[in-house]
Amino acid sequence: MTRDTGVEHPPARRPPAGADDGVVFEARDVRKVYHMGEVDVHALRGVDLDLSTGEFMVLLGPSGSGKSTLLNILGGLDVPTSGTVRYLGHDLTEDDDRALTRFRREHVGFVFQFYNLVPSLTARENVALVTEIARSPMRPDEALALVDLEDRLNHFPAQLSGGEQQRVAIARAIAKRPDVLLCDEPTGALDVETGVVVLEAIERANRELGTTTAVITHNAVIADMADRVVSLSGGLVSNVRLNETSVAARELKW
């Protein structure tokens, strides 16, 4: 296991020269087709999307519209069938599995709808999973303090509520000080109040650490937090809305 691969990857937070508003992600005509036996499922039918440094973007859309597929492709978890995805000018679609792994390790923080914590590890150890392989991580307890879980360090996931587990997942995602934070329905399984706590943690990462953030949600109210709201429908971007002012997570009501 090598922490430092020695191979240079596009450095973090260094927008290409000339870009006044640094573009982190640049997706062009991204298509994704799943072959399910006889039928082809077109999950993405040609998506164009840019994501700028420090931006807070919310992805909306009906179920099956391709949100998770898009987010997974941006985060290097999946590769598109065609089209290009550039990360700071580097074409991710050219990368092999090894390069994508390094990309995820060095730049991306993921938060999943179902937390995906390792049940046999404590909160601190779950975060340590990331800090042990990242380049300049926080300490696990620091990251957990950011999500107000400093007193639950040694609890196992089974001993935490859903919201607490999701906060551990966020701590795990932000502990490496990622350049981008990608969250797939982080509040999907949570009630309003817990949802707000989780969103605050994400918001803090975005505002305080300057992490470029994309959040998938079914909840249109959450969209008010965003700088920009992108709606997907049938595998295509159907609408883009810029919010003049974004609402703080605390003020959200649904």
Partner 1 sequence: MSLRALDRKMLRDLINMRGQATAICLVMACGLATFVMSLVMLDSLERTLNAYYEGHRFPHVFAHMERAPMALRERIAAIPGVARVETRVVEQVTLDMPGLAEPAVGRLISIPERRRPELCRLYLRAGRYPERGGRREVLVSDAFADAHALRVGDRVRAILNGRLDELHVVGIALSPEYIYQIKPGDVLPDPLRFGVFWIPEPELAAAFDMEGAFNDVLCSLRAGGSAAEVITRLDRLIDPYGSLGAYDRDDQISHEFVTNEIRELKGTAVVAPIIFLFVAAFLLNVVISRLVTTQREQIAALKALGYGRREIGNHYLKLVGVILVVSVLLGGGAGLWMASGLTALYAQFFHFPVLEMHVEPRVLVLAAAVSGLAGYGATATAVRRAMRLPPAEAMRPAPPPVYRPTILERSGLQHLLSPAARMILRQLERRPLKAALSCLGIAMGAAVLVLGAFMEDAVDYAMELQFEVVQRHELTATFVDTRGPEALAEIRHLPGAGHVEPFRGVAVRLRAEHRSRRVGIMGLEPAGELFNVTDLDGKAIPLPDEGLVLSTKLGEILDVRVGDPVTVEVLEGKRAVRRMAVGALVSDFQGVSAYMNRRALNRVLDEGPRISGVFVDADPVAHATLFRRMKEMPMVAAVTLKDAALQSFRDTMGEMIMRMRAFNIGFAVIIAFGVVYNSARISLAERSRELATLRVIGFTRAEISMIQLGELAILTLLGIPLGLVIGFAFAWMTTNAFDTELFRIPLVVERSTYASAATVVLVAAAISGFVVRRMLDRLDLVAVLKSRE
List residues binding partner 1 (CB under 8 A): 1, 68-69, 72, 75, 77-78, 97-98, 101-102, 104-106, 108, 110, 112, 114, 116-121, 125-126, 128-130, 132-134, 158, 172, 176, 184
Q: Does 86 bind ligand ATP (CB under 6 A)?
A: no
Report, in Å, the least distance between residue 225 CB and Mg ion: 19
Of residues 68 and 126, the one with the C-beta less far from Mg ion: 68
Report, in Å, the least distance between residue 69 CB and ligand ATP: 3
Interface with ligand ATP in residues 29-58 (CB under 6 A): 34, 36, 41, 43
Q: Is the dihedral of CA 18, 21, 25, 26 positive or negative?
A: negative
Within 13 Å and on the Cβ side, how many CA atoms surround 108? 26
Token pair in block for residue 174: 């932000």
Judged by beta carbon distances under 5 to 8 A according to partner kind, the member of Mg ion, partner 1, ligand ATP, none in contact with residue 125 is partner 1
**Proportion of the chain in helix, strand, coil states, percent, rounded to 5:** 35, 25, 40
Maximum distance among all alpha carbons in the chain?
53
Q: Which residue, 144, 148, 145, 182, is CA-closest to 56?
A: 182
Report, in Å, the least distance between residue 102 CB and partner 1: 7
Query: How far is residue 192's CA from residue 21's CA, in Å, rounded to a whole number?
Result: 34
Query: How far is residue 183's CA from residue 83's CA, in Å, rounded to a whole number?
Result: 23
Report, in Å, the least distance between residue 245 CB and partner 1: 33
Q: Which residue, 111, 59, 110, 55, is CA-closest to 246?
A: 55
Report, in Å, the least distance between residue 128 CB and partner 1: 4
Query: How far is residue 32's CA from residue 45's CA, in Å, rounded to a whole number?
Result: 7
* Three-state SS at 167: helix
Q: Which residue, 146, 151, 94, 154, is CA-closest to 122?
A: 154
The residue from 53, 68, 126, 166 that contacts Mg ion (CB under 5 A) is 68
Interface with Mg ion in residues 118-147 (CB under 5 A): none
Of residues 112 and 156, the one with the C-beta less far from Mg ion: 112
Of residues 67 and 172, the one with the C-beta less far from ligand ATP: 67
Applying CB under 6 A, the site for ligand ATP has a residue count of 12
Site for Mg ion, rule CB under 5 A: 68
Q: Where on the chain is the footprint of ligand ATP (CB under 6 A)?
A: 34, 36, 41, 43, 61, 63-69
